[in-house]
Amino acid sequence: MRAYAPFQERRDYAVPLLELLAGLPRYGARKRTVLARFEAQYGHLIALEHWARQPGGSLPLWQFWLTSLRVQLGQAGLLDAPRWGVWRITPTGLQWLEDHPSATHLSPSGEAGGRGRPRRVPGPGGALSFTVQGHRLLLSPEQVTAVAREALANGLPPEATRYHSWAVVVDGQRLGLRWLFQEVTGLDDITTYQARHVLERLGFECVREKGGGRVARRSRGPAGEEAAWLEAARREVDTIRALLAGRAPLPSHEKLCDMVQFCYTLELYREASSLFRLVDRDSVHPWLYERTRRVAAVCEGRASS
């Protein structure tokens, strides 16, 4: 019997997920079923703040973490996907549970109790730390490539090829850019511009389809979603500068933390530092304050350099 403490961090969810899958028929189920069973079995251990939907996202934080853990555990050989959308524990994962009957956490590296290194799928470039919709993530080309190859091997769902403009190329195959980014990160409410920016920085080729053919990825100017995103970003910058100038009311302290992250992403380091000084430590969750404090410290250094 595993004595789980209340879940406070992302890593707290990994072993419960493995144990849940081990108890399901055929050792797995579709994502929706897995999330529902996880909530029923472990909902009382999920921290209150993990139920909050993140800015711009449609998933509660705990579901977002489980989705991202699925990729990590798959790379470690503990989970696989016999069919698209199905999560299943592997024989390696079952053996780990048997070998560690009271363990509530994997090793810090996320490996199967030190039984070898996680599998790494070759891919271009190096890992990238980035912020999207208020989420701070570390994403590697290997993660993206692994998810794409898994989908190709198990049969692409219709939405993978049902894209209107931008596609990402993996192993010579064009996949919907937003679709792949959503599958890798678990983020639903993102723009093509945001996803393309990250994937290109990771070294993936992003191509634009027009009239059934490929055109150069650099167009003369932003259009469609990109233009809308840029306009929203301009409005947010105007709001921030009005706030710092005393021409706008003070928003919630959680919103101030989001603004700090936003300014860091756009390299507005002076604005980020000034915004953080307005945050009341006692008005936000400690993990949010600490994360924002670290970002603000980086901004302070870059603003003065």
pLDDT of residue 118: 32
66 & 19 share domain:
yes
Spell out where 23-115 has E strands: 28-30, 79-80, 86-89
Last-in-domain residue among 215, 234, 263: 215
Read off the CATH number of the domain in which 79 is found. Answer: 1.10.10
In sequence order, the β-bridge partners of residue 209 are 214
Q: Is residue 104 part of a domain?
A: no
Q: Is residue 27 part of a domain?
A: yes
Last-in-domain residue among 193, 215, 237: 215
pLDDT of residue 65: 86
For the chain, which residues score pLDDT lower than 70?
Answer: 1, 54-58, 108-137, 188-189, 209-229, 305
Q: Is residue 115 part of a domain?
A: no
Q: List, in order, residues 6 or more apart from 177 with CB less than 8 Å away.
A: 163, 166, 167, 168, 192, 195, 196, 199, 206
135 & 204 share domain:
yes
Last-in-domain residue among 215, 235, 269: 215
Q: How many domains does the chain contain in total?
A: 3
211 & 266 share domain:
no
73 & 140 share domain:
no
82 & 147 share domain:
no
pLDDT digits (tens, 9 = 90+) for 143-161: 888 888 887 877 777 777 7
Q: Is residue 277 part of a domain?
A: yes
Q: Is residue 237 part of a domain?
A: no
Q: Is residue 107 part of a domain?
A: no
Q: Are the CB atoms for 145 and 123 separated by under 8 Å?
A: yes
How far is residue 240 from each of residues 135, 274, 276, measured CA to CA in Å? 20, 10, 12
193 & 138 share domain:
yes
Q: Is residue 116 part of a domain?
A: no
Q: Are the CB atoms for 24 and 38 separated by under 8 Å?
A: no
Q: Is residue 230 part of a domain?
A: no
Q: Are the CB atoms for 104 and 5 separated by under 8 Å?
A: yes
Domain interval for residue 37: 10-99
pLDDT of residue 177: 87
d(CA 49, CA 64): 13
